[in-house]
Each structure stands twice: as C-alpha cells, then as structure tokens.
Amino acid sequence: MISPLSPSKYFLSAAAVLLSALGHTATAETSAPHPMMPEKHRALFKENCQRCHNEEKQKGHFRVDDLPFTITSVEVAEKWQKILNAMNSGDMPPDDEKQPEKTAKADFLDDLAHTMVAARRDLGDQNGIITMRRLNRREYGNTLRDLLGVEINVSELPSDTGVGFDTAGINLFMSGNQLEQYQSLGMEALNEAFARHAAAGEQRKLHYEAEEFTPVIQKFVAYQIDARERAERWVKAVDEAAARPENAEIVAQLRKTVKNDTLFRREWEKIPGAPSPRSFGFDKKGENDADLANDSLKAGWLEYHQYYLRQPAVDRGAYLGTETRHPAELNPKSVNVLVPFSWPAGNYIVRVRAGVTKDSPPDRHFLDFGINARQGPVLASREITGTIDDPQIVEFPLTMTRGNSDHDTRTIYFREKGAWDTNEEGIRRRSEAVKRNGIGPELALWIDWVEVERVPDAGKPVPPGIAALSIPLEDNAPALPAPELRAALERFATEAFRGVPPATKYLDRLVDLYESSRKMGDKPGLALKETLSVILASPAFLYLAEPASDEKRSPLTAAELSARLSYFLWSAPPDDTLRALAKNGDLLKPEVLAAQTERLLDDSRADSFVHAFVHQWLGMDRFDFFEVNRAAYPRFDNGTKLSAREEVYATIAYQLRHNCSLRDLLKSDYVVVDRVLANYYGLTGVQGQGFEKVTLPPDSPRGGLLGMAAVLFMGGNGDRTSPVERGAWVLRKVLHDPPPPAPANVPALTRLAGKVLTTEERLRAHQEDPQCASCHRKIDPIGFALENFDAAGQWRTEDSYQAIDAKGKPDPKTKKTWTIQAAATLHKGPAFHDFPEFRDIVCARSHDFARGFSEALLEYAIGRPLGFRDEPVLTDIIHQAEGKNLAMREFILAVVRSPEFHTK
C-alpha cells in the first residue's frame, strides 16, 4: 500500500543540497532533483532501442533517441513507462533483433522500474501542501464515540483505504450519498446516546445454571430409545406385510423403483396390510411419517448422548461437546444465553464459571466466547485452568447496542475453541473422533454457570456532547423556549466542532429546522435529535480545517495543533486537557507538547493509532484475504487466528508503552502473547488472561515480526507458503527496498505447471528470463529464508508437493517430500545457512527498517504522501531516534517536533 520513497540512487545526485539541509529544521526550499535512469544503461539503450527508434526510423511511430534520462514531466514518464511495459512483456526488443545480455537487461529493467516509482512519486509530489482532511471512517466513528459515548456501526461508509494511508486528505472524497449517510448515522448515534442516557442507572443481572441442559438431554435420550424401539416394531410389521405371498408382486414392483430398505418403507401405503407409522407414534406433521420412523431407527448420536450423561458433573453443570442433532432439537455443542429483549443497550459483563475435565489434553482447554452461535465471530478465546472440582470464573466485557436487536444478535455463546468454527470443520473434527473412539469428541470443558450483568453508567462522566446539551432529552419532554434551545444547540455545536463556536446565521437555521420539525408534528425529543443530526453532517464537524492563505505556509494555531495531535495518536478529537492547553497557548511550548504526546500515548485511545497505523503500514489487510486450509492446519482455528492477528498490534502497543527499541521488531528475546498463542507457539509463562511479555528460550525462532504467525500466514495462501509474497513483504516493510509494483503484461511461466518440483526448483525458473529475474533475484532468496515456517506459521523441517490430478484433487502417488534447507545468498549481499543467520542479517539493517518506519509514520501523521523535500525531516527523525537507541516513542516525538507537523 505504501510505496516508500525511492532510494536516492535513482535521483540526480544532489548531495550538496541534501547535506546542507541535514540537521536543519526548515524544509528544503531548493528545487528538488528529478529521478533519472542511471547513466550506465546508456550503452544498452543505444544498442538495443535507439537503432530502430530514432529520428529517421521511428519504428511504431516511437522514437527514443531524444528521450532524456532525467524524468521531469508526465510525458517523459509515459514514454519510459511504455519502454518498461514493452520490455517486460517481451515485445521489445523483437525476437529477430539482437538481444541484450541477460544480466544487463535484468539490471536495466530493475533500475527502470525503480526509476519509474521514483518518477511517479516525484511528479505526484504535493509540494508539501497538506490537503484539508475529512474525518476518515475510523476517525468519524471515534469522534462520535468521544462526543456521545456510543459506538455505532459505520461500515456502510466507504473504507477510505486504497491509495496510500487513510489519513491522506487528498484521497478522502465526499459525495451526496455520503452526506446523507452522515446524517443518518449521526441520527443513529443520537438515538443510541439518548437511550443510553435514559437507561444510565439501570442495573440488570441474570444467572444461568448450565445443568439446566441435563434434563433436556435426558429427556431426549429417553425419547431416542423409545422411538427406536417403536421404529423397530413398525419395521418388523412392514416387513411382515411385505413378506405375505399375496403382496409379492406389488413388493417386487416397488423394489425395482427404490434403492434401499429405507426408501422402500417410505412406500408403506402401497403395501396392503402394512401399518401406518402414525399408529406407532410417528407424526411428521404433514410430511411422510415414515421419514421420522426411519430416522428414529438410526437414533443418531444416541451413544454420544449417553456418553455425555455418564459424565460425573452433569448434575452441577454442562459439558461442551460437539454438534449432534440440529441445534434447535438438541444442542450439546455450546452453552447459549439470551440477553432479555427488555434490557437496554449499555456496557455489560459476562461471567462464566468453568473447569476442564480430568485427563483432557491441554490443547483443548480453551473456551471461545461470542455472540450469535450460528454465524457470529469468536470475540475472545480464554484458557481455562480451573477444574470441575475447583472451577474458575472468567469475565468478558461486552457492549450491547441498539443494533443487538434480534434473537441471534442477543444470544451469547460459549463453545470449545475451534470445535465448530464452520460446519465443515466441525464435522471433520467430529468424524476424526468417531474414527478414534467410535463415539465422538471427548468432553474437555465444563461450565458451571453463566452470569450476564448490565453495568449502570451512573458515576461515569457524562459524554461531552450530552453534557453540553444539559436539557431534558426524553421524547415527551416539554418543548423548550427558543432562547434555551438556541443556547443548547450552540453548546453542542461548539463541542462537536472541537471548540469552535458556530456562526450566528447557522444557529438561526438550526433553530428554524427545529421549529419546522415541531410544526410537522415531531415530538420535542425527535425534533431535537433531527436538528443535532444536521450538526453531525456539517462540514465543521466532518473536516479538520486549517484555514491558511496560499501565499505562504504558516504555523498551525494551538487549537489546530491539538486536533492534529489527537487525530494522529488517538484518531479522535482533543479532550478537555488538550483543548485547555490549546486555549492558553501552552501547547505550543515544546516541553508541553512533548508531555502531551507522552500522555496521549499512555491513554487507551492510543490503541486506535496502533491498530490503524500498523494495519496499514504492515499491510495487515492481507490477513483476511483467504481462509486457512483446516485439514492441513487444524490448530489454526478461529480463536488462534484472532490471537495471531492481535499479536502484531499487542506487541507494538507493548513496545510503545515501554518505549522499547524498534530493533525488537527485527529480533527480540521475548514475545508478547496471550495464552492461546503461547500454547500455539509451545511457550509457557503467561500469567494473566491478556497479552503479556514472555521471555523466549534461547534457540527460539520467535521474537520479532519475522517469527509472528500472522506475518507468516500473510506470506502464503492459507494452504502453501509463498516465498515470493514473503520476500516482497520483507523488502517492502522491513528492508526498505520495495520491489516495484508487479508489472503488467509479463508473460506467465507456464512451463512448470503440473510438474512435481521442490520449492527451490520452482523458484529457480524465475532466474531464466531477465524480465522475471530483475525483481525475483532480490525477492526469492528472502522468501526462501522463511521456508521453515509453514503457511500457518509453525516451524517445520520438511515440505512436500503433490501434483493435482484432472479432477482437481492432489494425487498422492506423485508426492515428493524434501528436507528444507533455508540457505541462500541475497542478491548482491551475504549468504546465510538458516533462518537465524538470515534474521541476523536483517537485524543488522535496522537503519533501513527505521527509515521505512519513519516514512510511514510521517506520512500517516501529516496526511500527505512524502516527497523529496521531506528528506531532511526524515533524516532528522532517524537521527534523533538513533540517538536514543531507536526507542519507539522517540520516532513519534520527533515527528511531532518536526516542522512539517506544525505547518499548514
């Protein structure tokens, strides 16, 4: 997503300019040098291109002899792009012409592709102008949350991602549709907030004893036994009727049309003397009663149900098993609790008292919690360490909104982790167990009771938007006199506009709106909400405006700075403290600004920054691009996936909190994991229930981004690893040497399709054509270094490949297995023999990593793509951070100190 600034070798050497600017705080006002194709390629260009595309010949009406190597305009860039495209596609030079030497061509393409990236960036440079920015989708949601104290679903808005960071004002569009969406989402937030306000004092609590399930399953077992016995008698009676000699002809006729006994019995009516299923108590309510009798004969999962009832603690709680019957009929798979419909939206706590069964394997001691057992996601996975005799209580915080309005979305569930993530996966696990023990999955978890409590908001601070109104909010409250209403609207708008009071005329119109809404028959409460929703769709709320003249770039005011800072580190508006410091101007003092930066980073709202920034910086959207092949990686279930994703964020959040060195992301002797992931990695030592630091054993491959399951998972397709994806990711995100975007129109390598080859053999093919080699010679060796991690991020020493047969199924006869040797030589770089050696090479390049991190951070913070003019600022940031051993907060402090952050 982010294409870092190109290495300066693709720029005209302007070292003098650069050096003189180093360390200075002012941005370079000198005209920036333009990207250029390195001069060393002139010979190849002359020999292989110019001979046909010159002034006289102009083959294809294209001439390049006058094409400058320095790219200064869109026109020149387009010509070079055309050359790059034609060479990548293999069209040029034509087959019957002299071909350049392979390596020289690969080098040419390598440099040209990078030059083009630099040129696009150069030509697209906004010259330091930061475009006024609309709140992006995340910020909009957070801003409503901070104003009104409610979280609403904003997913119907465009995601604002796609080109660059979602903070880049130039790419944040507005449309009529969106404007209306803002108004209706604002209305939704107001409804929620007013409802929350009305119910602020309400406390509710319910207690569910899980053994309530026991009589249900007892009754079902009794029914199954009885029904089977009745079904057997009915079958016997039908068989007897069928055996009568006088029925022989009819029976023979029937047998021809049906495949088996079950289907034969469905036709009982045609057999004279056969009794009806209903006379044996089978009533299928309008359908063929025989279906019910046939089904009862099988008494599906009866043995599993009986196994359940033999467990020692069914009198005191419920075990978590597998799905047997349709869940509406019987549900031994999960414990579900409905939150009563009459309970209002608000903050809830769900408690569960649970234990593990004797002798069950530790890998099965994890409990999934979520909403909507049928199709809802897992919200949290927790390890259960208590036993049935000594159970433990685990708490889950939960927010219920007005959106939780139907049975599904009001039903919470507890299930064994991974037991039934999907029907396919659940059935797979179940049949494995049946194969193993003849019955079904052994019971590993037990629940004593579940408690659901709505926590009153009383005592908590009233959200600033509601506090600002300070008028009665009930729908049937008496209408306010105009002056009071006007004052309330003014206070609310000022709060919503981050401290900027609204203009008089605007207020007039708001009051008019309220009045006309009342005249239309709306109750005061509704008229008020309608009017407020217009404020929430007004530009002063939706845009972070920093008025400035065109002539000169000028410093931000303290208020503007406070908004820039809080949207940088919280993705949310400035709080009272920041606003006060902006008002008295103290925020402009460097030491105050630094202290506030630290305070914001210490606040839980900084999680928004970590999530949004890391998600975009590291390209985490790929994490959701595909499903894992669960047959191959059964342990990478939904709960593990959730924790694996969270590890990336939790690690960086931890490192920010403790101001660790950025180097820790390259290699560290610790990881930040929860119990789920510790179990997945085979580590011990997690004390609490959340993510925490755990020291690694000395020989561990974990510690740092390259050992994270999420990063490794993204470098594959959920089934097989992709050394190319992984290599490109490392170049992009870690080594700050991004390969140019995958070129269009490169002929595909089809020669090896269907062949059974090792990964190394397959990758070697990339070296044959210069078009491929120009990028892959850098990418592939890196991907190769990570081959000891499988597609779900587990360590492995072997890999195998099977050809796919004509039906699309793997053919075991072709299976080839090999031992992984993660040894390779980096392009124009050192050799390594295994992953640890490779990791050390990467670790030694922390400067490059810091550079990429700084670029991403600055771009995210100021909301515009970077250009050459930003070189001095970047150098400065890295310089300051290096002075503090690359401490993470130092980068952020340096960005906040930088002149760019203070300028509009």
**Nearer of residues 159 and 437 to another protein, judged by Cβ:** 159
- Least Å distance between CB 96 and another protein? 18
**Nearer of residues 261 and 522 to another protein, judged by Cβ:** 522
- Least Å distance between CB 824 and another protein? 20
Taking CB atoms within 8 Å and a gap of at least 24, the contacts of 297-303 are 297/228, 297/231, 297/232, 297/235, 299/224, 299/225, 299/227, 299/228, 300/324, 300/325, 301/325, 301/440, 302/221, 302/224, 302/225, 302/228, 303/438, 303/439, 303/440
**Nearer of residues 126 and 360 to another protein, judged by Cβ:** 126
Calculate the alpha carbon distances from 166 to 58, 173, 248, 714 in Å: 44, 11, 78, 21
- Least Å distance between CB 688 and another protein? 34
- Least Å distance between CB 793 and another protein? 17
- Least Å distance between CB 156 and another protein? 8
- Tell the burial category of 75 from Cβ atoms under 10 Å away from its Cβ (0-12, 13-18, 19+): exposed
**Nearer of residues 417 and 615 to another protein, judged by Cβ:** 615
- Which SS3 state, helix, strand or coil, does residue 689 take? coil
- Least Å distance between CB 902 and another protein? 17
As a whole number of angstroms, the distance between CA 258 and CA 263 comes to: 6
Q: DSSP letters along 551-563, please?
A: SS--BPPHHHHHH
**Nearer of residues 11 and 280 to another protein, judged by Cβ:** 11
- Least Å distance between CB 23 and another protein? 28
Q: DSSP letters along 729-756, please?
A: HIIIIISS-PPPPPPTTPPP--TTTT--
Helix H or strand E segment including 799: strand 798-801
Within 8 A by CB and 6+ apart from 201, the residues are 456, 457, 458
As a whole number of angstroms, the distance between CA 450 and CA 206 comes to: 8
As a whole number of angstroms, the distance between CA 576 and CA 580 comes to: 6
Residue 854 identity (one-letter amino acid): S
Q: DSSP letters along 590-645, please?
A: HHHHHHHHHHHHHSTTHHHHHHHHHHHHTTGGGGGSS---TTT-TT--HHHHHHHH
| Centroid of chain to Cα 605 | 18
Per-residue exposure over 452-471, b if at least 16 CB sit within 10 Å of its own CB, e if not: bbbbebeeeeebbbbebbeb
As a whole number of angstroms, the distance between CA 572 and CA 576 comes to: 12
**Nearer of residues 137 and 605 to another protein, judged by Cβ:** 137
- Which ranges of 359-453 would DSSP assign to H, the alpha helix? 423-437
**Nearer of residues 507 and 592 to another protein, judged by Cβ:** 507
Helix H or strand E segment including 776: helix 770-785
**Nearer of residues 22 and 74 to another protein, judged by Cβ:** 74
- Least Å distance between CB 325 and another protein? 16
- Least Å distance between CB 24 and another protein? 25
- Which ranges of 244-383 would DSSP assign to H, the alpha helix? 248-257, 261-266, 289-298, 302-309
- Least Å distance between CB 528 and another protein? 15
As a whole number of angstroms, the distance between CA 121 and CA 869 comes to: 12
**Nearer of residues 548 and 824 to another protein, judged by Cβ:** 548
**Nearer of residues 673 and 712 to another protein, judged by Cβ:** 712
| Centroid of chain to Cα 279 | 57
- Least Å distance between CB 842 and another protein? 25
- Least Å distance between CB 749 and another protein? 6
Helix H or strand E segment including 235: helix 213-243
**Nearer of residues 257 and 750 to another protein, judged by Cβ:** 750
